[in-house]
């Protein structure tokens, strides 16, 4: 397949055009950022791992009736996807108290959340991707009540598939971030699902297996990503 011009470069991926106006190529980078890109670094082979893990999870979700932008994995770092118009709302699904939720509300990290909760964040780097509610998004004309309802429902639907999948592989799916896009007037799952976008703990040891190891300078970052790859795709 002939890869065209660079359309967009983000913190973790590059997006290229193709000869098909409905398709683009996602190139997964090894660049790592945290705290709204205030911390930067490199995680060796991160792009390869995230591409393969995302492929496995997108295929699983498609099998369960959840539409995604995934078409096929082209190479170690390249994924062919549908070209979507990204909805500027990050959807965070939380099964366990951790990270910013614990800090904001003074809750004990590690406590289970049942049923899971869904949070919305306005996707805007200049503002630091702030936590928002439905009324804020409606005020900014970012999304209609119907779209927000669909985003929340799809977040729960993805969680219903992924949570037991990770549990079967001895990993606790603590929380994860999703992004959605519009393709031919239909809302579908986009971006990636990987150790970059999920908080995952080993069920035996409780140790972090995700980007928190980079955020908190915990060491053994590459080893953790490789272990997630082995369990998800093994």
205 and 111 share a domain? Answer: yes
Looking at residues 25-39, what average pLDDT do you find?
Answer: 90
User: Residue length, the chain?
Assistant: 234
For the chain, the domain total comes to 2
Q: Tens of pLDDT along 129-138?
A: 999 999 999 9
Give the pLDDT band of residue 35 (cuts 50, 70, 90). confident
101 and 65 share a domain? Answer: no
Q: Is the pLDDT of residue 186 over 90?
A: yes
Looking at residues 171-180, what average pLDDT do you find?
Answer: 98
Half-sphere exposure of 130 (CA within 13 A, CB side): 8
Percent of the chain at pLDDT exceeding 70: 100
Last residue of a domain, one of 50, 82, 114: 82
46 and 107 share a domain? Answer: no
What is the structure's pLDDT at 135?
96
Mean pLDDT of the chain: 96
In the numeric block, the tokens 């893990």 are attached to: 53
Q: Tens of pLDDT along 60-112?
A: 999 999 999 999 999 999 999 999 999 999 999 999 999 999 999 999 999 99
153 and 195 share a domain? Answer: yes
Q: Tens of pLDDT along 128-165?
A: 999 999 999 999 999 999 999 999 999 999 999 999 99
Give the pLDDT band of residue 36 (cuts 50, 70, 90). confident
What is the structure's pLDDT at 1?
72
- Identify the CATH number of the domain in which residue 70 sits: 3.30.200.20
CB under 8 Å to 158, separation ≥6 — which residues? 61, 66, 93, 178, 189
- Identify the CATH number of the domain in which residue 171 sits: 3.30.470.20
Q: Is the pLDDT of residue 41 over 90?
A: yes
Q: Tens of pLDDT along 194-206?
A: 999 999 999 999 9
In a domain, 230, yes or no: no
187 and 138 share a domain? Answer: yes
User: Structure pTM?
Assistant: 0.96
Give the chain's end-to-end CA distance (angstroms, integer). 28
In terms of residue numbers, what domain contains 110? Answer: 85-220
Q: Is the pLDDT of residue 208 over 80?
A: yes
93 and 74 share a domain? Answer: no
State the DSSP H helix or E strand holding residue 59, giving kind and residue range, or none if neither: helix 46-63
103 and 137 share a domain? Answer: yes
State the DSSP H helix or E strand holding residue 150, giving kind and residue range, or none if neither: helix 145-168
């Amino acid at each position: 397949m002939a890869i065209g011009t660079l359309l967009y470069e983000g913190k973790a991926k590059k997006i290229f055009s193709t000869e098909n106006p409905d398709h683009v190529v996602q190139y997964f980078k090894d660049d790592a950022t945290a705290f709204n890109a205030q911390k930067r670094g490199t995680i060796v082979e991160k792009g390869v791992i995230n591409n393969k893990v995302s492929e496995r999870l997108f295929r699983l979700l498609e099998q369960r009736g959840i539409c995604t932008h995934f078409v096929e994995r082209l190479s170690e770092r390249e994924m062919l996807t549908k070209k979507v118009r990204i909805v500027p709302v990050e959807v965070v699904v939380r099964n366990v108290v951790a990270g910013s939720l614990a800090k904001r509300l003074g809750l004990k990290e590690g406590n289970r959340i049942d049923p899971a909760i869904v949070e919305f964040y306005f996707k805007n780097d200049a503002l630091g991707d702030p936590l928002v509610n439905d009324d804020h998004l409606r005020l900014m004309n970012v999304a209609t009540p119907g779209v927000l309802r669909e985003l929340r429902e799809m977040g729960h639907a993805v969680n219903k598939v992924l949570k037991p999948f990770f549990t079967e592989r001895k990993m606790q799916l603590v929380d994860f971030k999703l992004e959605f896009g519009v393709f031919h007037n239909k809302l579908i799952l986009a971006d990636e699902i990987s150790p970059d976008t999920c908080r995952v703990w080993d069920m035996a040891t409780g140790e972090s297996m995700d980007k928190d190891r980079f955020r908190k300078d915990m060491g053994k970052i590459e080893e953790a990503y490789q272990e997630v790859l082995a369990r998800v795709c093994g």
